[in-house]
């Protein structure tokens, strides 16, 4: 792929500093950004302890998210003891706390970042690029997602479908900070643009493991539970004639991070969308079983239920 022909971040071009960001209502967020920068300069072991501490505080104060995480882990790991499930929830919140401060590592990078990341299997990407193949990547929602894939953006251009942040100042800072990396952020409502870039030979990355409601969803097993699954991975790969790869990311505790590109899926997509979604859900599930502490358990993965099936979450704890 010829990277020199790729334009700068499209979303960045539409995300500009506005004078209203200086208004008093934004001052607490500016203080938070100052804290992000300060913590990101700390020695990495101390950085980890600060992030983990914030995560544990969020677990204590965030009753709703704590309940969702506890319920999800209970549903997915009925064979584990209560103590084991509690530990997974605790570690996941610690990772979520780390993720907040990892934004500082991404937005204000230092040479240390390259020493923290380990990238495996990138030869699969290079081989496909040399063959002129379009490439579709899918990944699970892990708490280290931003840091890990920002480092991939130092090796190759790729496109990411993402949800625009509700706070315009946060969105400005995040987009401005990500300018260091060769990635294009595309709001998830602009799927056509995402597919166009893939057809032009650029990588596409999506995380399609959350419950997006009944519309266009299929009920596919995830940890043995029918889960509303949008067939985006299969559909995007089919529309762009792309080779599809699973890419995983996880923390090596307080040592750093690993991103691993797995070999391309064989005979994917097929002519059976249910079989394709079952395969991709199983791949994500296998990863989560291996790295449960890294998964983002804090959303209602099983919110949407098949017709006639009872809800799996206490409605009073929405």
pLDDT in tens, 25-44: 999 999 999 999 999 999 99
For the entire predicted model, the pTM comes to: 0.91
Q: How far apart are CA 178 and CA 161, in angstroms?
A: 14
Facing residues of 160 across strands? 185, 205
Domain 3-317 fold is Glycerol-3-phosphate (1)-acyltransferase (3.40.1130)
**pLDDT tens-digit profile of 220-274?**
999 999 999 999 999 999 999 999 999 999 999 889 999 999 999 999 999 999 9
Domain ranges within the chain, ordered by starting residue: 3-317
- Whether residue 128 contacts residue 243, with contact meaning beta carbons closer than 8 Å, is answered with yes
DSSP string, 200-259: TT-EEEE---S---STT-EEEEETTEEEEE-THHHHHHHHHTEEEEEEEEEE-TTS-EEE
């Amino acid at each position: 792929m010829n990277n020199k022909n790729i334009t700068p971040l499209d979303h960045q071009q539409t995300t500009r500093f506005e004078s209203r960001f200086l208004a008093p209502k934004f001052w607490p967020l500016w203080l938070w950004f100052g804290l992000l920068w300060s913590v990101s300069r700390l020695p990495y072991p101390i950085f980890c302890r600060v992030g983990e501490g914030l995560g544990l505080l969020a677990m204590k104060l965030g009753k709703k998210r704590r309940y969702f995480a506890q319920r999800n882990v209970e549903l997915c790991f009925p064979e584990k003891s209560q103590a084991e499930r509690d530990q997974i929830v605790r570690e996941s919140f610690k990772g979520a706390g780390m993720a907040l401060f990892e934004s500082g590592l991404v937005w204000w990078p230092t040479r240390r970042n390259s020493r923290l990341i380990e990238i495996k299997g990138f030869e699969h990407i290079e081989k496909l690029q040399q063959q002129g193949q379009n490439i579709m990547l899918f990944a699970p929602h892990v708490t280290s997602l931003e840091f890990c894939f920002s480092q991939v953006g130092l090796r190759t251009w790729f496109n990411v479908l993402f949800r625009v942040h509700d706070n315009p100042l946060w969105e400005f800072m995040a987009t401005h900070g990500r300018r260091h990396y060769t990635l294009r952020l595309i709001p998830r409502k602009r799927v056509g643009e995402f597919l166009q870039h893939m057809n032009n030979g650029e990588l596409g990355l999506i995380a399609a493991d959350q419950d997006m409601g009944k519309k266009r969803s299929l009920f596919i097993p995830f940890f043995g539970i029918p889960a509303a699954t949008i067939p985006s991975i299969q559909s995007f790969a089919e529309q762009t004639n792309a080779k599809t790869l699973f890419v995983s990311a996880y923390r090596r505790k307080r040592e750093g991070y690993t991103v691993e590109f797995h070999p391309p899926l064989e005979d994917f997509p097929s002519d059976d969308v249910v079989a394709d979604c079952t395969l991709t859900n199983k791949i994500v599930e296998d990863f989560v079983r291996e790295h449960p502490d890294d998964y983002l358990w804090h959303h209602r993965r099983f919110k949407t239920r098949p017709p006639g099936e009872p809800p799996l979450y206490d409605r009073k704890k929405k």
